[in-house]
Structure 1
Amino acid sequence: MFRQGLPVDYLNYMGLANSDVDSQQRTVFLERTMALMRRLMEQYLPTDAACDQLGKQFMHDSLPPFLTEGEKSCSIHGHGERWDPAGNVVRDHTEMEPDTMVKLIRKGCLRLITEDDVVRVYHNIENARVYHGREPQYIEISAELAPAVELLLHSYPEYVAVDSLPAETVEERLEIATILYDKGLLVTGEPLQNVHVDDTSSDEGEEEGDS
C-alpha cells in the first residue's frame, strides 16, 4: 500500500500553483494521502505510549499536592499505624470496607503506564521539595487491577464505592483500594474508623508466664 507509485499526472493538479484549484483529482489525492498518514500513525506511531512517557516525566518533575486539613483527616496523611509502647498495641490501624467511598486525592497525582510488560502507577505524592530530589516513584500492580485505577481517574472528582471498582472479587477491590490509600493516593468520603489491634505475641508471652 505504501509502496504504490504516485499517479502519473499528479504534478498537474498538486503543488502550490494548484492549491486553490478545486478538482476531483486533487480531492481524491489529498483524501488518499490523509488516509495513508492516519494508518501510518495508528500502526507505527504509539501516540498514547509517547504521551504516557511525558506523563511519567511530569510525575517526576512536579511537586506533591498541597492537602487541606479535611483531606488529611480522610487519608493516610492524617492517619497511619504507629506502635504504642505504653499500651503495647498498634494504634491508628484502619481498614477499608466494600462500602467505603473513595476518590483520588488529585487527578494529576498519578499516571497509569504499561512498560517493560508490567503495569505501573507513577505518582508524585512522595516527591521531594527539591527538584528531582528522589528517583521516580511508582507502584507495580497486576494487569487485572488496572481497570480499577482507570475508573478512579475517569470518575474524579466524584467518590465511588470500593465495591464498584472493576475487579473479579471483593478481595481484589479492597486490595487495590488499600494499596492506593496506604500510598497516600486516595481520600475517603469520611475518616476511616480506627481498629484496635492487640499485640498477640505479648499476650502469648503473658500466658506462658502465668503457666
Structure 2
Amino acid sequence: MSTVFHNKDPVSESLKLFKWLIAPLSPTSFFKQYWEVKALHIQHNSAYYFSDILTTAKLDSIFRDSDVLARESSPNLRHDDIGKPFMEVTLNAGDMLYFPRGTIHEGRTDPECHSFHITVSVYQHNSFADLLEYALPEALKKASFDNVHFRKGLPLNYLKHTGYVNKNILSEERLNIMAEIQKLFDSLRDYIDIDKAADQLGRRFMYDSMPPVLSKQEIFHTSKYDGDIMKEGKIFNRAEFDMDTEVRLLRYFCVRLVIDEECSKLYYNTENAKMYHGEEEQVLVIEFNLIPTIEMLQSTYPKFTNIKSLVVNNNSNIETIQLVSDLWERGLLITNNSVTTVIGD
C-alpha cells in the first residue's frame, strides 16, 4: 500500500524541516560514514549546522495551524481538497508508519495485491486543554463560594456594552467590565486544583483503556491463573495470603484513586471489555483509613512489597489482607511467588 501525505506548506518548507531534523555528526563525515549504508541519524546535538536554514520563527510559522496536534479526528476529505502531496511511501507487510496528529494522509492499494492495514490514533483527548476542562469548572465553583467578588452582580446595563453587536464599541462601561473580568481570571488561578483534575482525567483513562496485556510469566502469578474456581458447589484454588506474601500492582497505570467528600474510589481497567465501553466503569470503594496502603503500592511499584509492610495507619492485619484479596480478585495485583491455595465450601 502506498501512502501519500499532504499539507498546506510548500514542498520546500517540508524539505527544510526534514533537513533540520537530520544533522551530520560533522559536515565532512556524514556522507562517508552514513550515506552508503542508508542510515538515518536523528539529530541530538550540533544543531548549529542547520541553524541558518530553519529558524525558530520559521518553525513557528509552519506549525501555527489548527491541524497541528488536532484534538479530534477529521472527517473524510475529498481528494481535490487536500492539496499536493509532500511525501509518498510504500508500506509492505509488517511495516509500521508513524506520523504526527493532524497529518493528512491518503492511502491507495497496489492493483496487483490486496491490502489490510490498521490505523491507530493515539494521544487524543490527553492534552493540557483536556486537563483544564476538568480543572476550570471546579475552580470557578470553589472561587464563587469562597470569594465575594465572583458573586457580585453584573452592571445593570452590561447587555448594552457586551455581545456581538457591541464588541467593537469601546465604551468606558465595556472597558470596566473587561478589566473586572481580567481581575477575576487572575484570582481564579489560586483555586485551580490540578491534582483533582488529573484524577478525573485518570478516571476517564481507566474507562477508555484496554485491559493490560500479561506476559506468560505474569499470568501464573495473578488471579487469572491462580484465581479460585467453583466446581460441583465447591470453591477450588482459593488464594490465601499471609503477612510475608510479596505483592505489587500489575501495572502502575491500571488503577486511579479518586477521593471526594463522601468516599474514596479506586477505578481500574483490568476488567474492561475489549469492546469500547462494553462494560460499566470498574470501581472498588476503599475505606479512607486504607488509602495509605494504595499509596504505598503505587510508590513502591514496580518492586514487590510484603503485606506486612502494607499495614499502615494503625490498620489491622485483617483489614489489610482483605484489601489485598479484593485487589487480587480483580486482577490488580501480581505476586512474587505462587500463592497458597485451599479448597473451600
Any idea what SS the aligned residue of 2:264 has? strand
- The residue that corresponds to 2:265 in the other structure is 120
From the CA coordinates, give the structure whose radius of gyration is larger.
Answer: 2
Q: Distance in 1 between matches of 2:208 and 2:214?
A: 18
Unaligned runs of 5+ in 2: 1-146, 150-185
Q: Distance in 1 between matches of 2:230 and 2:327?
A: 22
1:61 aligns to 2:196 (yes or no): no
Q: Distance in 2 between matches of 1:79 and 1:124?
A: 19
Cα deviation for residue 80 of structure 1 reads 2.1
1:169 to 316, 323, 329: 316
Summarize deviations over 1:159-209 as a string: whole Å, max 9, x none: 001111124211121121111111110001101121133x4xxxxxxxxxx
- The residue that corresponds to 1:73 in the other structure is 220
Q: Distance in 1 between matches of 2:234 and 2:275?
A: 36
Any idea what SS the aligned residue of 1:112 has? strand
- The residue that corresponds to 1:139 in the other structure is 284
Any idea what SS the aligned residue of 1:77 has? helix
- The residue that corresponds to 1:6 in the other structure is none
State the AA in 1 paired with 2:222.
S
Higher relative contact order (CA 8 A, sep 6+): 1
TM-score w.r.t. the length of structure 2 is 0.44
| Cα pair 2:210 2:273 within 8 Å, conserved | yes
1:95 aligns to 2:234 (yes or no): no
- The residue that corresponds to 2:304 in the other structure is 159
Q: Which runs of 4+ in 1 moved over 4 A?
A: none
Q: Distance in 2 between matches of 1:124 and 1:145?
A: 20
Any idea what SS the aligned residue of 2:225 has? coil
Aligned length: 162
Any idea what SS the aligned residue of 2:270 has? coil
State the AA in 2 paired with 1:173.
T
Cα deviation for residue 117 of structure 1 reads 1.9
Cα deviation for residue 41 of structure 1 reads 3.5
Cα deviation for residue 135 of structure 1 reads 1.9
Unaligned runs of 5+ in 1: 4-36, 200-211
Cα deviation for residue 138 of structure 1 reads 0.6
Cα deviation for residue 115 of structure 1 reads 2.9
Q: Distance in 1 between matches of 2:205 and 2:259?
A: 16
Q: Distance in 2 between matches of 1:125 and 1:150?
A: 19
